């Protein structure tokens, strides 16, 4: 692994774009403030917009002021940070661009008297990334495989075939260790904490299996529509946008076996084992195990909201799903026959990402029946965002002369323990630091990406060949289509929301 003191140049393709403005620059600046960037570093935005170094610096500063978790701290350090930010106006298809980059790498190397590590961040439309990668390879910018890395944003491929092709194409030019496929959920503090919760405590692991757990739920809900991303979303839909990556990764964190070490490949192998064990539905089983939805028009928090089909760059007859719920099984010894219900959607009632571990009922119920009117089985709820906490529900005796039971929550809150979330690094900070350090643990390996596509491929195909007849089928501000309730109600379950829900 490289050290923090390795001089580094970060080239950002799509330097003038939205991701750079809202996420990458604020993350890099926070890393700088926290002293996590190498002593010698350079950030070069590359794009077609007409920026000079000076105007790009101002533009980046605005992005940081608007989107950093520590807006008020921008001013003091910016003066020293700004000279390390440059801009290169360039045509990405032109070989001259890559020659200029090479020249800049040499110049910096001479100035620093050390060969810099180079990072190439593809913050561009996915169809451009392979061309850029090819040009980088041709210009020998990535020839030193220990000191050059490429970061790919999702979507990585559009389906199983395209992802496999892309992996083969990249594999012909680069070593797998140079390729960092980002899934920003893996950088979230609360997601990384799942490993700590499970494997740094002796308490949970003995009951973390089908003997004690009844079922598991993962909800990743958003209370906004597709906003200005209609063009992208029309090609994606909820299954590709959230389930293939973020949600399956969360499922892996919950279901994986204990790693032997924290070695990047050890953790990724354990996660891959989970994906390989996920039952892949036959096409004629898809309708029994997956539900899709699309929001119509309606009201959300007192504001009128457009239907998905009325959004910008969306076809008025679009059949793209903005909601997906799927029932998965992980066919291995630990999880045999335990359902994993996952759901995600836009324009739902609230923004919340939640993992629920629902335990089985106590085996013997000795209390008088009256005592147990409010009795509930144990449940562990891991709130990923925006609320960041872990709750363990158990039974307590209600104070009073009689024996009456009541579910209560024991809560670990991040904010109470560590201060508010402005003090905690954002996902992109963690992930960028890992790229700089050369630590791929939290990034997707080629085989993980392909296996995840394999899991959702039959659902994609069935949904594509059988257009929905009921779209739009849910109103904004709800929890999605009724069929999603039915999907899990037929097994006697219901979706959990927090915090009021105590069923
Ligand atoms: C992105 C999806 O990967 O994740 C978006 O493309 C989605 O559609 C976003 O809104 C959600 O991320 P977060 O961190 O806000 O839950």
Using the predicted structure, report yes or no on whether residue 434 has a pLDDT greater than 50. Answer: yes
Rg of the chain's alpha carbons, rounded to an integer?
24
Q: Could you give the dihedral angle defined by the CA atoms of residues 456, 457, 462 and 468, in that order, rounded to the nearest 10 degrees?
A: 50
User: Do 8-153 and 186-489 show the same overall fold?
Assistant: no
pTM of the model: 0.95
Mean pLDDT score, 414-429:
86
> What average pLDDT does the structure give for the chain?
94
CA 191 to chain centroid, in Å, comes to 9
Using the predicted structure, report yes or no on whether residue 452 has a pLDDT greater than 80. Answer: yes
CATH classification code of 8-153 = 3.40.50.720
Closest protein CA for atom 9 of ligand 1: 242
pLDDT at 502: 46
pLDDT at 500: 53
Ligand 1 lined by 241 (C-beta under 6 Å) = yes
Top mutation candidate among 181, 192, 242 for ligand 1, by most atoms within 8 Å of CB: 242
Considering the segment(s) 186-489 as one domain, its CATH architecture is: 2-Layer Sandwich (3.30)
- Model confidence band, residue 2 (pLDDT cutoffs 50, 70, 90): very low
Write out pLDDT tens, residues 356-414.
Answer: 999 999 888 888 888 777 888 999 999 999 999 999 999 999 999 988 888 999 999 99
- Model confidence band, residue 5 (pLDDT cutoffs 50, 70, 90): confident
Q: 308-316 long-range CB contacts below 8 Å, 24 or more apart?
A: 308/225, 308/226, 308/346, 308/347, 308/472, 309/472, 311/225, 311/226, 311/227, 311/230, 312/228, 312/230, 313/230, 313/231, 313/234, 314/226, 314/230, 314/233, 314/234, 315/234
Write out pLDDT tens, residues 167-209.
Answer: 999 999 999 999 999 999 999 999 999 999 999 999 999 999 9
Mean pLDDT score, 32-47:
96
Mean pLDDT score, 269-282:
98
pLDDT at 365: 80
Mean pLDDT score, 14-42:
96
Q: List the domain boundaries for the chain.
A: 8-153, 186-489
Write out pLDDT tens, residues 291-334.
Answer: 999 999 999 888 899 999 999 999 999 999 999 999 999 999 99
Using the predicted structure, report yes or no on whether residue 342 has a pLDDT greater than 50. Answer: yes
Q: Which of 211, 246, 422, 494 is catalytic?
A: 246
To which H or E segment does residue 254 belong? helix 248-255
pLDDT at 402: 87
Ligand 1 lined by 450 (C-beta under 6 Å) = no
Atom number, ligand 1, closest to the C-alpha of residue 222: 10
- Model confidence band, residue 243 (pLDDT cutoffs 50, 70, 90): very high
Residues 496 and 358: their CA atoms lie apart, in Å, by: 10
Closest protein CA for atom 6 of ligand 1: 241
> Helix 25-33 and helix 53-67: axis angle, to 10°?
80
Write out pLDDT tens, residues 119-128.
Answer: 999 999 888 9
Is residue 402 annotated as part of the catalytic site, yes or no?
no
């Amino acid at each position: 692994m490289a050290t923090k003191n390795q001089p580094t140049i970060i080239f950002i393709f799509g330097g003038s774009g939205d991701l750079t403005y809202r996420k990458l620059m604020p993350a890099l600046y926070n890393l700088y403030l926290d002293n996590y960037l190498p002593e010698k570093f350079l950030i070069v935005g590359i794009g077609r917009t007409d920026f000079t170094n000076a105007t790009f610096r101002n533009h980046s500063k605005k992005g940081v002021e608007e989107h950093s978790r520590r807006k008020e701290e921008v001013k003091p350090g910016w003066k020293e940070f700004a000279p390390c930010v440059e801009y290169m106006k360039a045509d990405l298809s032109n070989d001259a661009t890559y020659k200029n980059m090479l020249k800049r790498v040499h110049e910096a190397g001479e100035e620093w008297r050390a060969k810099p590590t180079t990072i190439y961040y593809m913050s561009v439309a996915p169809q451009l990334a392979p061309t850029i990668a090819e040009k980088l390879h041709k210009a020998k910018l990535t020839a030193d495989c220990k000191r050059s890395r490429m970061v790919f944003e999702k979507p990585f491929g559009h389906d199983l075939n395209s992802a496999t092709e892309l992996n083969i194409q990249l594999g012909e030019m680069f070593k797998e260790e140079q390729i960092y496929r980002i899934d920003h959920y893996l950088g979230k503090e609360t997601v990384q904490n799942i490993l700590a919760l499970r494997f740094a405590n002796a308490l949970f692991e003995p009951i973390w299996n089908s003997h004690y757990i009844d079922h598991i739920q993962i909800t990743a809900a958003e209370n906004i529509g597709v906003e200005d991303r209609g063009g992208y979303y029309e090609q994606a839909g909820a299954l590709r946008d959230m389930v293939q990556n973020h949600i399956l990764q969360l499922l892996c964190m919950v279901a994986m076996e204990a790693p032997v070490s924290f070695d990047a490949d050890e953790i990724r192998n354990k996660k891959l084992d989970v994906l390989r064990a996920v039952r892949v539905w036959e096409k004629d089983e898809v309708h029994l195990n997956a539900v899709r939805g699309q929001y119509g028009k309606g009201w959300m928090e007192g504001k009128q909201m457009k239907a998905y089909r009325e959004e910008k760059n969306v076809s008025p007859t679009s059949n793209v799903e903005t909601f997906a719920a799927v029932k998965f099984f992980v066919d291995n010894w630990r999880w045999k026959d335990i359902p994993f219900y996952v759901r995600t959607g836009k324009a739902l009632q609230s923004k919340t990402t939640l993992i629920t571990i629902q335990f089985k009922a106590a085996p013997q119920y000795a209390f008088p029946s009256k005592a147990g009117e409010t009795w509930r089985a144990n449940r562990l709820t891991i709130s990923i965002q925006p609320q960041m906490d872990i709750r363990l529900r158990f039974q307590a005796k209600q104070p009073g002369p009689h024996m009456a039971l009541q579910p209560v929550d024991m809560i670990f809150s991040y904010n109470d323990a560590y201060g508010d979330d402005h003090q905690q690094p954002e996902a992109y900070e963690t992930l960028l630091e890992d790229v700089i350090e050369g630590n791929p643990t939290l990034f997707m390996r080629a085989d993980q990406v392909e296996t995840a596509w394999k899991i959702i491929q039959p659902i994609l195909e069935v949904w594509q060949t059988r257009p929905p007849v009921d779209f739009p089928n849910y109103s904004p501000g709800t929890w999605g289509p009724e069929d999603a309730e039915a999907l899990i109600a037929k097994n006697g379950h219901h979706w959990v929301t927090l915090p009021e829900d105590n069923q």
